[in-house]
C-alpha cells in the first residue's frame, strides 16, 4: 500500500470522529502552545536583563586600586594606568570617578541641583521646572577614552582630548538626558554651562542608552529601562578635575577596555599579577571585576532556565502522548472488525501498522500545527503585555515543536498500531 493512500484513509478516519480527534489533539495543542509561549517569554525577559549588562559594554573590566602605603593611592593608580597602556590587548583605560559633592549646574534659566526646592523660576513649564532633581546627573570623571570604556557613543561633538584632561580644562561632555534638560532642542556644542559658578564648555553629547533598547513595561523590564535612563543622566568632567571635588580624594577606580572577549581572562590575570606587586598586603587592596562575566553567568542561568522549561515541556507532552496512546488503543478496539476485514482482503501487518501510525502522527501533526498557532498568539499577547513589544518565537523552537509533535505520534502510536496488526483475522471478523 502506498503512503498517499494511507494518508487519505487516515484522514478519513479522523474526520469521521471529529470531536474525538479534536479532543485528542487538545493535549498536544495546549502542551506545545504553553512551551512555545513560556520559552519565548523567558527569552524576552532574559534579553531585557542582558541589555542592562551589555549596556556597560563588552569586554570592560572595572579595576579598583586602594593604597595607603608609601606613595599613596595616587601613585598606585597612576602606575596601574601606565601599566594598562602598555598591554597589547588593552584598547583604552579611563579613570572612573564620581563626584559626590552637591553641585549646581545651570544653563540660562535651567538649573540642576540636588535637594533644592526646585528652581522656582516663573514661566517655566511645570514638567521641566518642577522635577530638576529628577534630572540631576551622575557627575563622573574620566578621560578621552571614557566613551570607549563605558560604551557611550557620541551623538554630537567629540570626547575630551588628551591635553584637556592633562590641563584641567573646563570642558564637559553631557549625557543625553542632561543635554535635553539643559538645552531642550538647541545644539549644546560649544555652549558654556555653569558648574558652581565656574564656566564649562560643552564639547560633546552622548547618545541615549535607553532609547535603543526596547524591553517594554513589565516590572523587571521597566527596572532595566530605568537603569538605562539613569545612565543618560551624565555630566562628564576631565578626570584631572578630581582635585576640586570630593575633598581632593584621588580616583581609585578605572575602566579597562579589552580588545576581545578571548583576551579578557588573560588581561584579568595580568592586572591581578601587577596589582599584587604594586600594592603589597597591608598597604591597600585591589579588585578586578568583569561585567561581561556577569553576562556570561546570566547566559548560564539562562541555559538552566531553558532546561527547566524543557523538562516541564517534556512532562506535559508525555502526558499528552499517553492520552494519544490511550485513544489509539480505544480506536483499535472499536475498529477490530475493520481490521479483520482489511486483513481478510489482503492487508499485510505492515499496512495495518502504517495505517494506525499515520493516524496517530496525523493527530499529533495537526495538533502540533494548531499548538504552534496558539503558541504564537499566546506569545504575542504575553510579550506585548509584559514587555510592550511583540516578541515572536524563533524558527528553531517552531520547527522543533512541530517535529517533536510528529515524533510523539510515532512513539505513542506505535504500540496501538502493532497491537492492531497482530489481531487474528478470524477473531477480528467475529468482533461486533
Partner 1 sequence: MLIHIEDVYKIYNEGKESEVRALNGVSLDIDQGEFVSIIGQSGSGKSTLMNILGCLDIPTYGDYRLDGTEITECTDRQLAHIRNRRIGFIFQGYNLIPVLDARENVELPLIYQGMGAELRRARTEEALARVGMLERQHHRPGEMSGGQQQRVAIARAIATHPSILMADEPTGALDSKTGLHVLELLHSLHRDGATVILITHDNSIAATADRIIRLADGEVVANGRREEVFA
Rule CB under 8 A: which residues touch partner 1? 1-2, 5, 9, 12-13, 16, 337-338, 340-349, 351, 424-426, 429
Choose between 22 and 66: whose C-beta lies nearer to partner 1: 22
Distances (CA, A) of 206 to 9, 27, 158, 191, 232: 67, 53, 9, 15, 8
CB of 28 to partner 1, least distance (A): 23
Contact predicate 264/159, CB 8 Å: no
Choose between 297 and 334: whose C-beta lies nearer to partner 1: 334
Q: Which three cell numbers stand for residue 377?
A: 498568539
CB of 10 to partner 1, least distance (A): 11
Choose between 252 and 421: whose C-beta lies nearer to partner 1: 421
- CA pair distance 36, 422, nearest whole angstrom: 38
Specify whether the backbone of 352 is left (phi greater than 0), alpha (psi in -120 to 50) or beta.
alpha
Choose between 10 and 228: whose C-beta lies nearer to partner 1: 10
Q: Which three cell numbers stand for residue 164?
A: 584637556
Q: Quick one: CA dihedral 208, 211, 213, 218, positive or negative?
A: positive
Choose between 24 and 73: whose C-beta lies nearer to partner 1: 24
Choose between 209 and 343: whose C-beta lies nearer to partner 1: 343
Q: What residues does 174 pair with on adjacent strands? A: 205, 235
CB of 430 to partner 1, least distance (A): 10
Q: In terms of C-beta density within 10 A (0-12 exposed, 13-18 middle, 19 or more buried), how is residue 269 classed?
A: exposed
CB of 312 to partner 1, least distance (A): 38
Choose between 145 and 335: whose C-beta lies nearer to partner 1: 335
- CA pair distance 247, 245, nearest whole angstrom: 5
HSE (side-chain half, CA atoms, 13 Å) at 316: 20
CB of 15 to partner 1, least distance (A): 9
What is the torsion angle, in degrees rounded to the nearest 10, for the CA atoms of residue 175, residue 180, residue 182 and residue 186? 120
DSSP string, 311-366: HHHHHHHHHHHHHHHHHHHHHHHHTHHHHHHHHHTT--HHHHHHHHHHHHHHHHHH
148: CB partners within 8 A, 6+ apart: 91, 92, 94, 257
Choose between 126 and 345: whose C-beta lies nearer to partner 1: 345
Closest alpha carbon to 93 in 127, 51, 62: 62
Choose between 3 and 70: whose C-beta lies nearer to partner 1: 3
CB of 6 to partner 1, least distance (A): 9
Choose between 210 and 339: whose C-beta lies nearer to partner 1: 339
Choose between 340 and 409: whose C-beta lies nearer to partner 1: 340
CB of 2 to partner 1, least distance (A): 7
CB of 48 to partner 1, least distance (A): 53
Q: What residues does 284 pair with on adjacent strands? A: 67
- CA pair distance 33, 37, nearest whole angstrom: 6
CB of 366 to partner 1, least distance (A): 18
- CA pair distance 99, 233, nearest whole angstrom: 14
CB of 353 to partner 1, least distance (A): 13
CB of 367 to partner 1, least distance (A): 21
Q: 3-state DSSP helix/strand/coil percent for the chain, to nearest 5?
A: 60, 15, 25
- CA pair distance 231, 139, nearest whole angstrom: 11
Task: Please report how the helices 3-16 and 18-55 are oriented relative to each other, as an axis angle in degrees rounded to 10.
Answer: 100
- Quick one: DSSP state of residue 235? E
Amino acid at each position: 500500500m502506498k503512503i498517499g493512500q494511507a494518508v487519505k484513509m487516515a484522514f478519513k478516519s479522523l474526520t469521521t470522529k471529529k470531536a474525538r480527534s479534536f479532543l485528542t489533539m487538545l493535549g498536544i495543542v495546549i502542551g506545545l502552545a504553553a512551551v512555545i509561549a513560556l520559552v519565548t517569554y523567558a527569552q524576552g525577559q532574559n534579553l531585557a536583563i542582558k541589555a542592562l549588562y551589555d549596556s556597560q559594554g563588552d569586554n570592560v573590566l572595572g579595576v579598583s586600586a586602594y593604597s595607603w602605603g608609601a606613595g599613596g593611592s595616587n601613585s598606585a593608580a597612576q602606575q596601574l594606568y601606565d601599566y594598562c597602556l602598555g598591554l597589547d590587548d588593552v584598547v583604552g583605560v579611563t579613570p572612573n570617578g564620581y563626584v559626590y559633592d552637591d553641585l549646581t549646574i545651570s544653563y540660562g534659566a535651567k538649573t540642576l541641583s540636588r535637594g533644592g526646592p526646585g528652581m522656582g523660576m516663573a514661566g517655566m513649564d511645570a514638567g521641566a521646572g518642577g522635577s530638576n532633581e529628577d534630572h540631576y546627573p551622575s557627575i563622573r570623571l574620566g578621560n578621552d577614552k571614557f566613551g570607549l570604556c563605558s560604551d557611550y557613543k557620541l551623538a554630537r561633538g567629540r570626547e575630551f582630548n588628551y591635553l584637556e584632561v592633562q590641563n584641567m580644562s573646563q570642558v564637559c561632555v553631557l549625557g543625553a538626558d542632561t543635554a535635553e534638560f539643559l538645552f531642550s532642542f538647541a545644539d549644546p556644542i560649544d555652549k558654556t554651562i555653569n558648574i558652581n559658578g565656574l564656566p564649562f564648555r560643552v564639547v560633546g553629547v552622548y547618545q541615549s542608552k535607553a532609547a535603543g533598547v526596547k524591553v517594554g513595561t513589565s516590572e523587571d523590564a521597566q527596572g532595566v529601562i530605568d537603569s538605562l535612563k539613569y545612565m543618560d543622566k551624565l555630566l562628564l568632567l576631565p578626570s584631572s578635575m578630581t582635585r576640586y571635588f570630593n575633598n581632593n580624594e584621588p580616583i581609585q577606580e578605572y575602566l579597562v577596555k579589552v580588545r576581545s572577549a578571548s583576551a579578557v581572562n588573560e588581561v584579568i590575570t595580568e592586572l591581578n599579577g601587577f596589582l599584587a606587586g604594586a600594592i603589597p598586603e597591608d598597604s591597600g587592596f585591589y579588585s578586578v571585576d568583569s561585567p561581561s562575566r556577569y553576562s556570561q553567568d546570566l547566559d548560564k542561568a539562562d541555559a538552566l532556565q531553558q532546561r527547566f522549561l524543557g523538562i516541564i515541556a517534556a512532562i506535559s507532552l508525555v502526558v499528552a502522548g499517553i492520552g494519544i496512546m490511550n485513544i489509539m488503543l480505544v480506536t483499535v478496539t472499536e475498529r477490530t472488525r475493520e481490521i479483520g476485514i482489511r486483513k481478510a482482503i489482503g492487508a499485510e501487518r505492515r499496512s495495518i501498522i502504517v495505517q494506525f501510525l499515520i493516524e496517530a502522527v496525523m493527530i499529533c501533526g495537526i495538533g502540533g500545527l494548531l499548538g504552534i498557532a496558539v503558541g504564537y498568539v499566546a506569545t504575542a499577547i504575553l510579550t506585548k503585555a509584559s514587555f510592550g513589544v511583540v516578541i515572536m518565537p524563533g524558527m528553531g523552537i517552531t520547527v522543533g515543536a512541530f517535529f517533536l509533535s510528529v515524533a510523539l505520534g510515532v512513539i505513542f502510536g506505535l504500540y496501538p498500531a502493532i497491537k492492531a496488526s497482530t489481531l487474528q483475522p478470524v477473531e477480528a471478523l467475529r468482533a461486533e
